[in-house]
Each structure stands twice: as C-alpha cells, then as structure tokens.
Chains A and B, each alone.
Chain A
Amino acid sequence: MAEQDWKQQKRPFAAVSLTPLFWTLLFFVIPMAFVWFYSFGRNVGLTDIDIVGTLDNYKRATEWLYLSIFLKSLAVAALVTLICLIVGFPVAMAITFASEKWRPWLLLGIMLPFWTNLLIRTYALMIVMGQQGYANKGLEALWGGASWLKTLVGLQPMETWEPLPLLYNNFAVVVGLVYVHLPFMVLPLYSALDRLDKSLIEASLDLGAGHLKTLFKVVVPLAAPGIIAGVMITLIPALGAYLTPDLMGGTDSQMIANVIERQFKRANDWPFGAALSFLLIYAMFALIALQGMRKKTGEVK
C-alpha cells in the first residue's frame, strides 16, 4: 500500500485529528501543565502552593536517596521486561504457528486477563502466594508425600514443612509485574511474527542452518520491530508501577510511584511530588525518544 503523506491531505487530516487533539489537550496537557507549574512552587501553609519558580524541588528530587529509588525502579522494570520477553517470545511463536482453528482461542487466552480489573487480579495472586496460600499448600502436600515415601522405604522422615516466603518481598513484586505485563509483550510480538514470511524460515532450514541459528539469525531480526515495541510498552508502565509493589511488596519494595503517591497524600508536599513525577515522565520521554531515534537510523539504512 502506498503511504500518503499527511502534508498532501491537510484538510481531511485536520478533520480527523481535531477530536483527539482536543481530548489530549483537555485531559492530558492542561492537567499536566498544572502539575508542571506546581513542581516549581513551594508550600505556603497547609493548602496553598506559591509558584515561585524555584528549582529546590528538583534539587531535592535528584538527591541520592530519590535517585537510588529511581534506579531501583528502573532495574526492576528492566528485569520484568526481560522475563516477559523470554517467556513471551515462545508464547507468541506458538500462537503464530498454531493452526487456524486454535489461534483465536490462544489469543483469547492471552487477552482474557485484561477483562478483569488489575486490583482483583493482584488480590487473586496474593491469595495463591500467601503463607497459607495454594502454592504453599500444594508444596506442603508434595513435601508430606515425599516424607511418607521415605518412611515407607525405612528412611527417616523429612523435617516439618516451613512455608516459603513467596509474598511480601521483591520476588513477589517481580512475579506480580510479569503476570500483569505479559500480554503487553506477547501481543506486539505476535503481530510482528504473524507478518513474517514463513518461506524465509524454510529457506534457512533447507540451506543448512539449525533451528537455533534460524531463530537468532532469521526470526529475531525480522521480528525486531515487534520486540522493540513490546519492550517499550512493557518497560514504561512497569517503571511507573504503583499497585503491585504496594500490595505485594515487602519492607524494601517501594518503587518511585509509591514515593510520589506518599508526597501527594501523607507528606502533603505537592510541589515535591510534582517534581518527582516530572522526572519520571522525562525518563519515559527519553526512552521513547531513544526508540524513535533507532527507527530513524533504521530507515536510513
């Protein structure tokens, strides 16, 4: 399909884009502008903010304490994205190569969790992972079974089962975030793999490349746009994750969004909260800009 340049079709373009533009302006740009102005303000009394153009909030926000929390959030988000990619790629491959009859059902299986509220899904996961949860109960039953087998052959029974601390730690946060973000990774990967010309894979195999070699030399490079898109839409929301670390995390699982929330509520320090929010937004912009630059250089090639 020949792509049309919007510059040659200015009027239809304007007609179509007016509503979303208005929407973005009203519900995104204007509220965010308020927050942006707050970030240069300071508290006067309990409820008023004087916008004095100070940079103190940003100075405080870039102290090591808050920077380290930023970096930790980024590390958690990157780990989550990596796990999503490793788990999601085979899933997307499986859906791509599934028969026509099965494909819609498999896609539905990926989408289904979206129809349930994030909060409910998180609570459900917490019920499974708790000290007395189903995961621990299942393991305990296995442990008990193994112990019984040992006594059967005349060995000492094993020690009593201690429930694993699955919940309320960083491990739980990563599991929760992977669980929530996996569909974001699988769907773009699937759409990229689906468009892939399968005869290329056959050619690669026919010409003597092994399966792994074909995967990394043919499939992965061709699916690269999907991989990058998947990484972006997983990494960015994971970086701003709030609910999962709050509900599933332990004493050292706070992420930057939790710190921001506390500034707006408990600390009643909106200017500082606004400054932290904008640092987070700038970080996300930088990530998106990086991707944009990559695309451009790709086109030039």
Chain B
Amino acid sequence: MDIKTLIDNAQNRRSLLKGMGVAAVGLTFTGALAGCGEKEAKKLANGEEASLNLYNWDDYMGETTLEDFKEAGGVDVKMDLFDTNDTLFAKFRAGNPGYDLIVPSNDFVERMAKADMLEKIDKAQLSNFKNIAPEFVDVDYDKGREYSVPYTWLALGIGYRKSKVQGVPDSWKYLFDSDQYKGRIALLSEAGDVFRLCAKYMGKSVNGLTPADIKTIEAMLVKQKPFIAKFHDDDGQDLLAKGEVDLVLEYNGDIAQLMTEDDDIDFVIPKEGSQLNSDNFCIPKGAKHPKNAHAFINFILDAQNGKKVTETILYPTPNAAAKELMPDSYKKNPVIYPPADKLAKCEYAKFNPDIQPLYEEAFTRVRAS
C-alpha cells in the first residue's frame, strides 16, 4: 500500500490524478506549448523540425516505443497525458494548444470532426495501413477513415472479485437493478455510458434512447443508488484491487491489467450485451508537425512496434499483423477478446448532441436525489 498505492492511483489510463484536469476549465493559452523547448530548429528530410507533440491517455504507450521511434527517425516525441475525452475536447475548444497528434475515442472523433477540429489523414503516408483488420477500416463513426486511424478498441463490462461474488454476475441487473451486492458496487461516473448500458439492460440499443427512456432509467438509478458505493472516474480497477468494492463497471483492458497481479479478479460482458469503444490517432487542426505525426502513426501500425505497445497496455488491438505476433495467452484471453456471441450483442455509441445534455441533467438529478 502507501506510496505504491499513491503512485498506482495516478497510473491508470483514464485516472490521471483528477486535479490536473481542473486546469482545462480555465483559459488555454494557444501556442504556449509550441513556443518553448525548441532551441535549435533542426530540419528533417520532410521539411519539419525533429519533434512531435503527442497528447495521449495515461499508461497507454509501449514501454520503449517513444525511444524506438526516436532511434528510427530522430524525432523527439513529447507526450502529455489527459484523463477524459471531455478534458481533451475542452482544451481544443479554445484552439489547438500545440499538439500534433491526439487519441480521442470513437464518439469524440465524430464530434471533433463535426466541429472542424481535425485534419484529414493522408493514407499515402501510411504504408502500414494495410495491417489494420478489415472490420476497423470502414467504421460508422468515421466513414472511410478520413480523420482517424484506430489504435485500440475496448469493451465495457463487469469486473468482479471471484471470492466475494456468487457465480458469474453475467447480467447488468447486478449493477443497475438489484440489492444483492449492496454497497459493494461502483459505476462509472460518465452519465452517457451509464444510461446507454441501462438501455442495454432494458433490451434497447445504446443509440435508441428516447427522453421517456431516460426518465425510466433515471427512476431505476434513483432506486438503485443506495446500493451503489461510488461513481468512479475510470479508476474502478483500483477500487476493486483495494477491496473497496466487489463489482465495478469498467473497461476490459483495465481489468485484464489487474488480473495479471490478482488471481481473484475476473471480468464478464453481461448477456444483454454492452458498449464498445475505440481509441484513434487523429491529427488536430493547427498541428505544426503533421508529417511527423503521420510517420508516428505508421510506426505504430508496424507489426513489431504494434506488438510492443500491445504487450504493455493489454488492450485489444485492431492491428491484425501485431495481434498475429502476440502469444496465445493474449490472443485467446476471453477478457481481452470476448467471445464472438457476446461481441455480436455489443454496439458502438454514436455521438448525439441532442440527447447528451439530457443524460447529464438526469444524472445530476440521480446524484442529488
């Protein structure tokens, strides 16, 4: 425990110490990043300076990937970290603060593309694009992959402590509509995700919610709230690891990482189906080093380099060539790659600007009740 717990708290993909996110609320000074640190402008063959500013999730890069990339092309990568898509979006609202490459999730790719915040991807510069598995090449949230290149995908489900739970909690009922594990449950604090998964529990599509459904779900959550210990900010794996709760709503990769340290943990995608997410490389408008950004994306898409990333972060990868190189313990891991029949019931959430505020207000009411 102690110091290690403190550090671990700060080291999970979506749980960067929260306070740092506060700054994003204020004003962003455009160019503050780009202006410093470039003592001498050494030019590369492609006409750009030898640097790249990457804005990534925490704990979401291969251990040596950045050094390997520097060795290969001489480009220095400066990586900053964000903890939620909302932080990313709030920062870019006031203009690009100096980044060349960002990693938004699927619905935010859609949102940022609509808000004209993204540059188009030039596939001619991506010789390794062919390594991407076909089902990830053309996706609903970015038709023809105009603005994004897939980096990982992930599925929401229930992470649980086997010794404290009877059998396999393979229904959303245990989280949303039952007092069986009273006080031992933690849900994500992301209003949209919670409401969409409640829709799944009610047998509806994550993209088919009406205001009337939101009312119904709100009532269900108000009833369930006394049995929920905490709405967590994507640090559910820590709550589970520390024994604060026994069931958490979390992403499969987070739980897979924890399972390598703790035998008593497992993960299930409930029988009603779930929601999928995918994180993508995008080049924001105003990027100073777009060619380096393309080179970096191409570097990650390479089979060997992709494998090294995957070995560290243990998320499902859309990079078919990299997956091929991984050991069976990864490829056949049912947590990382859920069975096909379960996946068939999972959906990607579409960005819907009309219904998002309704989720937020309903969730505020649930919390205030």
Residues of A whose CB lies within 8 Å of any CB of B are 31, 34, 45-47, 65, 68-69, 72, 118-120, 123-124, 127, 130-132, 165, 167-168, 242-243, 246-247, 250-252, 254, 259, 261-269
| Distance between B56 CB and nearest chain A CB, rounded to angstroms | 18
- For residue B22, CB closer than 8 A to chain A, the reply is yes
Q: What's the minimum C-beta distance from A241 to chain B, rounded to whole angstroms? A: 12
Determine the residue in chain B with the shortest Cβ distance to A169: B229
- Total A-B pairs, Cβ < 8 A: 101
**A266 near B190 (CB under 8 angstroms)?**
yes
Residues of chain B contacted by A254 (CB below 8 angstroms)? 364, 367-368
Query: Which single member of A132, A165, A247 contacts B242 (CB below 8 Å)?
Result: A132
Contact of B111 among A46, A118, A119, A165 (CB under 8 A): A46
Are the CB atoms of B243 and A127 closer together than 8 Å? Answer: no
Chain B residues with CB below 8 A from A132, complex form: 242-244
What residues of B have a CB within 8 angstroms of the CB of A47 in the complex? 93, 115, 117
- The residue that A31 contacts in the complex, of B27, B115, B192, B353, with Cβ under 8 A, is B27
A45 and B115 within 8 A (CB): yes
Cβ-defined contact, A269 with B357, below 8 A: yes
Chain B, 244-303, CB within 8 A of any chain A CB = 244
Q: A46-B353, A127-B1, A251-B367 are in contact. Are A267 and B228 (CB under 8 A)?
A: no
B230 touches A168 (CB 8 A): yes
Is B341 an interface position by the 8 A CB rule?
A: no
A266: chain B residues within 8 A (beta carbon): 84, 86, 190-192, 360
Chain B positions 1 through 45: 1 when the CB is less than 8 Å from some CB of chain A, otherwise 0: 110011001000000011101101111000000000000000000
Shortest distance between the CB of B279 and any CB in chain A (Å):
18
**Residues of A contacting B231 in the complex (Cβ-Cβ under 8 angstroms):** 251
Is residue B356 contacting chain A, with contact meaning CB distance below 8 A?
A: yes
Asked if A165 and B183 sit within 8 Å, CB to CB, the answer is yes
B356 lies within 8 A of A252 (CB): no
Compute how far the CA of A110 lies from the CA of B142 in the bound complex, rounded to whole angstroms: 56
0/1 string, B191-208, CB within 8 A of A gives 1: 110000000000000000
Report whether B191 and A131 are in contact in the complex, using a CB–CB cutoff of 8 Å: no
Measured between beta carbons, the chain A residues less than 8 angstroms from B24 are: 264-265
Other A-B pairs, 5, CB within 8 Å; known A31-B27, A46-B114, A127-B1: A119-B18, A251-B229, A265-B87, A265-B89, A266-B191
User: Would you call A65 and B368 a contact (CB within 8 A)?
Assistant: yes
Q: List the B side residues contacting A262 at CB < 8 Å.
A: 360, 364
Inter-subunit contact B244/A130 (CB<8 Å): yes
Selected A-B contacts with CB under 8 Å, 19 pairs:
A68-B368, A69-B364, A72-B368, A127-B1, A127-B5, A131-B243, A168-B229, A168-B230, A246-B233, A251-B231, A252-B369, A254-B367, A262-B360, A265-B24, A265-B87, A265-B89, A266-B360, A267-B357, A269-B357
Chain B contact residues, majority secondary structure: helix
Q: Which residue of B lies closest to A45 (CB)?
A: B115
Alpha-carbon distance between A263 and B89 when the two chains are bound, in angstroms: 13
Q: Which residues of A contact B356 (CB under 8 A)?
A: 267-268
Which residues of chain B have C-beta atoms less than 8 A from A264's C-beta? 24-25, 90
Q: For the complex, what is the distance from the CA of A283 to the CA of B364, rounded to whole Å? A: 21
Minimal beta-carbon separation of B25 from chain A (angstroms): 5
Beyond A261-B22, A268-B356, whether A123 also contacts B242 by CB under 8 A is no
A265-B86 CB under 8 A given contacts A250-B230, A251-B231: yes
Instruction: Across the interface, name the chain B residue whose C-beta is closest to A167.
Output: B244
* Nearest CB of B to A139, in Å: 15
Contact residues, B337-367 vs A (CB, 8 A): 353, 356-357, 360-361, 364-365, 367
Chain B residues, CB < 8 A from A118: 19
CA distance A246 to B19 in the complex (A): 10
Residues from 176 to 197 in B contacting A, C-beta threshold 8 Å:
183, 190-192
In the bound complex, CA of A72 to CA of B368 (Å)? 9
Annotate B83-112 by CB proximity to A: 1 below 8 A, 0 otherwise. Answer: 010110110010000000000000000010
Known contacts being A252-B368, A261-B22, A261-B25, is A46 close to B230, with CB within 8 Å? Answer: no
CB <8 Å contact, B6 and A123 = yes
Chain A min CB distance to B351 (Å)? 10
B225 within 8 A of A: yes
Q: Do the beta carbons of A251 and B228 come within 8 Å of each other?
A: yes
Q: Are A268 and B369 in contact (CB under 8 A)?
A: no
Bound-state CA distance A31–B19 (Å) is 20
- In the assembled complex, the Cα of A46 lies from the Cα of B86 at a distance in Å of 12
A119 touches B360 (CB 8 A): no
